[in-house]
Amino acid sequence: MADEIQRVFVPSAIEEGGGSIALGCFSSEETAWQVLRSFLQKSDQMLLVSSSVVVWDIDVIGENGITVLSTMECKDCPVCGRRTFWLDLDNFSALCHGDACAAWIEESTVEPGVIDCGWPPVRFLKQAKDIQEAFSELFKIGDKMRAVSRVNSLGEQQPQAMMDEFESATKSDSKY
Output the 3-class SS for 88-151: ECCCCEEEECCCCCCCEEEECCCCCCCEEEEEHHHCEEEEECCHHHHHHHHHHHHHHHHHHHHH
Mean pLDDT across the chain: 86
Q: Which position has the higher pLDDT, 159 or 12?
A: 12
User: Over 60: is that where the pLDDT of 15 sits?
Assistant: yes
Flag whether the pTM goes above 0.75.
no
Q: pLDDT tens digit string along 73-116?
A: 999 999 999 999 999 977 788 999 988 899 999 998 888 889 99
Q: How far apart are CA 121 and CA 100, in angstroms?
A: 7
Answer whether residue 162 shows pLDDT above 70.
Answer: no
Under the banding of pLDDT at 50, 70 and 90, the label for residue 2 is low
Percent of the chain beyond pLDDT 70? 83
Give the least confident one: 48-57, 82-91, 111-120, 143-152. 143-152
Closest CA relative to residue 103, chosen from 124, 83, 130: 124
- For residues 46 and 41, give the distance between their C-alpha atoms in angstroms, rounded to a whole number: 11
* Tally of residues, the chain: 176
Which is higher by pLDDT, 176 or 148? 148
